[in-house]
Copies of this chain bind each other. A is one copy, B any other.
Amino acid sequence: MKTILNPNPENWESLCKRPVFDRIGLEKIVSSILRKVKNDGDRALFDLSENLDGAVMNSLRVPESEITGSAKIIPQNLRNAISVAMVNIEKFHRAQLINEKPVETTKGVKCWRKSIPINKVGLYIPGGTAPLFSTVLMLAVPAKIAGCTKIILCTPPDKNGNINPLILYAAFVSGVTDIFKIGGAQAIAAMAYGTESVPKVDKIFGPGNQYVTKAKEMVQLDGIPIDIPAGPSEVLVIADRNSDPSFIASDLLSQAEHGTDSQVILVTDSQELSDYVKEETYKQLKQLRRKDIAAIALENSLLIVLSSLEQCVEFSNLFAPEHLIISTTDPLFLAEKVLNAGSVFLGKYSCESAGDYASGTNHTLPTSGYAKSFSGVSTESFMKKITFQEVSPEGLNNLGPVIEQLAEAELLHGHKNAVTIRLKSLENARFQ
């Protein structure tokens, strides 16, 4: 962990730099995978699973019996915990369903919006060292609330062609309709283009490694929308001298254990606190099971000391962290000044793990500074809004002449004529 004392604001930008990947090399590999799946469908998926994941399979789809059977393998107390998390996620995401009222913009001109679910959505859930069943809940629960008809999930099988039962169980209880044993860029390709087994979806969601992320970026060029571009996970903690160094150290470590490229930053107005946090972080690190991963992430992590808490928030706004923990004496005061962040945790008991699992907020959030323009995943991410308008004869009489003038000025006489012909007919009717 590197301590940086009062960096010159001119150097803040460089402190906000995220790791950069070899984009061109990655694009070549991924575009070849995308092409294979587009051309050869299922056959390409079987080949790639064998070659890349070392899994020989005779079917891509997880059979119904295996999905429902997963419940028997999961201990009751864990099933209860999943249920509590799910209820909270449901509460928060259901509150996002809002009925907007029509607006009468001109007498006789009524305009409104209606939210409609995206029909088919595809969720990607990474495999690897930890079975991220919490991400299944975070994506499938809002998809279900939105009303998506098909909720398709792809996740890589292990060497024996199996999926972790926790992932199957989470998918089962949260309303996923189809599960496929496909990982990596090929899973994204399968959902983007469709194959004999996998339906083509209307939007793709979910985290993944560099290949998955790049594949999601690249299928956008073929018109397939994605949730958010992604990078390594991040936390930035703002703390003052009254903060508890052991709490903060635990938060920094809970981020650092995600991966060696995790971004972990403390910004504080107290050098003393910064030193305590550093000491405490290395102490707690020793107890951590994933300490080898966390230790590497900590090597790149920063402890930044600035002259005031206001400056700390300013730095945070420039960094635009995925997770922002404000663990100061008056966190609500600073929260008002937050402009760029994915999800904000206020006060000493609001640890990031709460939002990662069970408080109800979504944990699929913008990383790499994308919080400057992207929101995290929400119920709206699974819907689109259609505008409607109804113009009455009175409305057209009121607004028609304005439209005619504007269309004329844009030299679009066809647009003008669509109004003129109607206004004339209304006038004729009046004299009949």
* A residues at B contact (CB < 8 Å): 23, 77-78, 81-82, 84-85, 87-88, 91-92, 95-96, 98, 100-101, 103, 105-106, 109, 111, 113, 116, 118-119, 129-134, 166, 202-203, 217-218, 220-221, 223, 225, 229, 244, 246-247, 250-251, 253-258, 284, 287-290, 294, 331-332, 335, 338-362, 366, 368-376, 378, 380, 384-393, 395-396, 399, 401-403, 405-407, 409-419, 421-422, 425-426
Contact = CB atoms under 8 A, between A and B. Distances in A.
Given A103-B92, A415-B353, A389 B344 contact: yes
Given A288-B413, A422-B348, A387 B355 contact: yes
B81 A405 contact: yes
Given A290-B412, A359-B391, A402-B357, A372 B422 contact: no
Contacts of A375: 384-386
Nearest to A365: B387
A64 to B, nearest CB: 24
B91 A103 contact: yes
Contact of A415 (B84, B223, B356, B393): B356
Most buried by B among A103, A130, A355: A103
Contacts of A105: 87-88, 91-92, 359-360
Chain multiplicity (copies): 2
10 contacts: A81-B401, A105-B360, A111-B361, A131-B409, A244-B425, A251-B418, A254-B412, A254-B415, A354-B389, A373-B384
A250 B91 contact: no
A223 B399 contact: no
A299 B253 CA distance: 64
A89 B421 CA distance: 24
Contacts of A220: 217, 220, 229
Contacts of A349: 391-393, 395-396, 422, 426
Given A250-B418, A294-B414, A418-B251, A399 B95 contact: no
Nearest to A374: B384
A131 to B, nearest CB: 6
Nearest to A378: B385
